[in-house]
Amino acid sequence: MFLNIALTESSFCTAYYQEEQGNQHVRATETRSINALGFWWGSLLGLGEDGWENGDCRGVGAIHAAFPNATPAEFLPYGETYFGKAGVRYSDGRLLLDFIATALGLKFLDPYLQSVKSNFAQGANFAAAGATVRSVPYLSPFNLGVQTKQWQEFYTNTINTLAVDPGNSRLPQPSYFTDGLYTIALGGNDFTFGYTKGQTPLQIRSYLPLVVTGITDAIRGIYAYGGRNFLVWDIEPQGCLPYTLTLIPHTPADLDVNGCLQEYNDNSVYFNGLLQTALQDLQAELTDASIVMLSTYDLKTDLLANATANGFQFVTTACCGVPSAYNYNTQVNCGSSGVVNGVTLTAVTCPDPSIYTIWDGVHNTEAANRYIAQQIFGGKYLRPAWPKLADNCNLSPF
């Protein structure tokens, strides 16, 4: 999911974050604007998948705008908790991006491809459900490379329009493109693409360096247009998702203490190590940029281990799905019914989504998205950590 959020000058923080990297002293400034690149599967800002979520950013974005009524998120029970109707988001309510936007005093963003009645003054959402980093024949044509090109087109068109119409109130100011924070939350669907092909964790590992390169190429592409501040999501523990736990045959011996598939979590750890190293190398190369990683893996792992203390009772079981061990069925999605092996199955919704972390087998509940947003502003899971981030920000309650 690729997501772009531009903030007004007074809406975010004027905090300064410093870290030592060798002989370089890097300052990351968050002020005036945030551009989010979030790929959904998913989650804040910028480029992403269906969840941007981890993400999760967010919602259906480009897919909804380009192909209306083509995704389950455009129908109830998606959106029921917060919107009381379909919210065009892969959750029962708000996405991680929505909470972050609220905290920063912003409205929810319009999809970039939704040109009618859209207001891009605070940014545009380039996210797409099912998006991958690589160009592969999967769920969405809007891979990270496409999203990056769309953002570049948006940048060029905005600059050209403001040159002849400087008072246009529906477009972001040029300075936002430089001062903004670009977030990239993508890569999860590159894993699930392999799962659906029956690939082993070792086979999936073989192309993960290409996924990392795709992310760094996107950063370079935005940097070339003036972007300087980047926040990149790593990959959550894939072996803990009801989707993975249902799709992959396993025995109790394959599970860790949290009930997750250890081998598949190890793949997430492997990818995240590659990503962090690549981002550190890129930071050393782009000395006037600030590149920070958000460890969604550590965040989610800590949540799994301390779920009850944080108000959650179910962390590997979907709230909305066909009743089963993990409340997930690969052939009958949340909100639908279907005949499987001659039996009619119906995906039902749990009575209380707030005690579940997973909504539909893949994407977070609103309650989990709220919790994750709170942790982001706590700064603990940023790499390097930024423990006093929230103290320096004028955040609105969410």
187-246 per-position pLDDT tens digit: 999 999 999 899 999 999 999 999 999 999 999 999 999 988 888 999 999 999 999 999
Mean pLDDT of the chain: 82
Closest to 183 in 3D by CA, of 64, 36, 21, 65: 36
pLDDT attached to residue 26: 34
Ramachandran bin of 241, using left for φ above 0, alpha for ψ from -120 to 50, beta for the remaining angles: beta
Better-predicted residue by pLDDT, 50 or 218: 218
pLDDT attached to residue 218: 95
Distance CA 372, CA 58 (A): 13
Which amino acid is present at 136?
V
Predicted confidence (pLDDT) per residue in 175-195, tens digit:
888 877 787 889 999 999 999
pLDDT attached to residue 38: 29
What is the model's pTM? Answer: 0.84
Predicted confidence (pLDDT) per residue in 349-380, tens digit:
999 999 999 999 999 999 999 999 999 888 99
Structure-token match 């962390």, residue found: 315
As a whole number, mean pLDDT of residues 30-50 equals 36
- Which pLDDT band, with edges at 50, 70 and 90, does 64 fall under? very low
Joined tokens for residue 163: 């040159």
- Which pLDDT band, with edges at 50, 70 and 90, does 33 fall under? very low
Joined tokens for residue 8: 């007004």
Closest to 95 in 3D by CA, of 33, 42, 39, 46: 42
Predicted confidence (pLDDT) per residue in 147-179, tens digit:
999 999 999 999 999 999 999 999 988 888 887
Domains and CATH numbers, the chain: 2-311+362-392 (3.40.50)
Distance CA 88, CA 208 (A): 30
Structure-token match 């004028």, residue found: 394
Task: Please tell me whether residue 39 adopts helix, strand or coil conformation.
Answer: strand
Q: Give percent of the chain above pLDDT 70.
A: 81
Residue 79 confidence (pLDDT) above 90: yes
